[in-house]
């Protein structure tokens, strides 16, 4: 089976030769492409090159334009710093304490360099892999993107106070993210990764008020554009699991601190496949081969017919190659 055939068959609960390997690689992509992290995130050609190497070398069953959370923030007008070998960050929040939303630029994604770079990445990966691999584009979810624009601490305080401006803020972000998702699908993405990490920090009540309806509507919109959705919320989302069944993504990533068997149980009889969830540090980076095998088999034993396997979040670039390869070998039936 090709990786694309394998993933689509698995999501449909059909027999496969291997449980799909959905490990997230970012810093490892830069390393395999032989470039700095900043070069990887700023040049779609190097992003594509590194993804193709990782897919071939480590058995991951997709290629992706995931890289960093600041692409959309840059398009909105944030001044972004790009350390050579670290994650980019905002020098200062774009949305300040006066909560003036008029500072937000609303460009077409093709008119902003960093969002255009990701669109070109989808296009190039599609050209390179044809129908062999699924191509996964990426957008930030409304809460995560608002945190990038306002500053995480500031946004959390605003959420706790249920500030009046929040609904308008999230709606502006939502409409821009729709445009960005569609542009990537039009460029060749099969899936859109929906990264909403900050949602794991706010609890079910605030997520239910501000995040749930928008994430659900984004999934519905991406489906209407012909794409599928992979929802990624880093952290302990145990309190959110039942709410997230309403979002109904095609895949939901489960981080290592969540009970994988419980997540599989919660999403049983829903349209959503769970993916996860070994500890990327304790298992992939620091684990012995015996520990890696024990933990991977533990996840495999908990799988439903449509589940996928991955580290709970990004696999560190310094992880022993043997651990990454062992994980992939264990997924073959």
Whether this model's pTM surpasses 0.85: yes
pLDDT at 75: 98
Instruction: List the CATH code of the domain at 3-330.
Output: 3.20.20.210
**Residue ranges per structural domain of the chain:** 3-330
Q: Computed from CA positions of residues 56, 299, 139, 182, in that sequence, does the dihedral angle turn out positive or negative?
A: positive
Alpha helical stretches, state H, the chain: 3-11, 27-33, 37-42, 44-58, 71-76, 113-129, 142-150, 152-161, 166-187, 203-206, 212-224, 241-244, 260-266, 289-302, 321-330
Residue ranges of the chain whose pLDDT lies below 70: none
pLDDT at 134: 99
- Closest C-alpha to 96, from 115, 121, 122, 78: 78
pLDDT at 333: 81
For residue 175, the tally of other CB atoms under 10 A from its CB is 10
Cα 163 to its chain centre, rounded Å, is 28
């Amino acid at each position: 089976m090709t990786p694309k055939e394998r993933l689509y068959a698995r999501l449909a609960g059909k027999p496969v030769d291997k449980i799909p390997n959905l490990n997230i690689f970012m810093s490892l992509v830069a390393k395999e492409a032989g470039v700095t992290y900043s070069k990887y995130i700023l040049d779609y050609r190097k992003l594509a090159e590194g993804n193709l190497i990782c897919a071939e070398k480590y058995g991951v069953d997709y290629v992706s334009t995931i890289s960093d959370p600041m692409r959309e923030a840059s398009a909105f007008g944030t001044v972004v710093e790009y350390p050579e070998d670290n994650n980019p960050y905002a020098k200062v929040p774009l949305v300040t304490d006066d909560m003036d939303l008029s500072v937000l630029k609303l460009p077409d994604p093709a008119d902003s360099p960093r969002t255009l770079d990701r669109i070109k990445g989808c296009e190039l990966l599609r050209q390179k892999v044809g129908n062999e691999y699924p191509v996964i584009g990426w957008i930030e979810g409304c809460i995560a993107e608002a945190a990038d624009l306002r500053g995480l601490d500031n946004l959390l305080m605003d959420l706790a106070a249920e500030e009046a401006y929040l609904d308008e803020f999230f709606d502006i972000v939502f409409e821009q993210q729709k445009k960005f998702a569609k542009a990537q699908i039009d460029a060749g993405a099969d899936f859109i990764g929906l990264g909403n990490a900050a949602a794991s920090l706010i609890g079910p009540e605030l997520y239910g008020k501000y995040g749930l309806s928008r994430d659900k509507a984004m999934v519905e919109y991406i489906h209407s554009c012909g794409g599928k959705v992979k929802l990624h919320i880093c952290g302990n989302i145990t309190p959110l699991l039942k709410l997230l069944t309403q979002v109904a993504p095609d895949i939901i990533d489960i981080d290592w601190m969540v009970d994988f068997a419980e997540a599989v149980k919660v999403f049983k009889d829903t349209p959503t496949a769970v993916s996860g969830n070994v500890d990327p540090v304790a298992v992939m980076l620091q684990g012995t081969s015996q520990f890696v095998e024990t933990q991977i088999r533990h996840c495999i034993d908990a799988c439903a017919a449509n589940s996928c396997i991955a580290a709970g979040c990004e696999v560190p670039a310094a992880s022993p190659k043997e651990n990454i390869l062992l994980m992939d070998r264990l997924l073959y039936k």
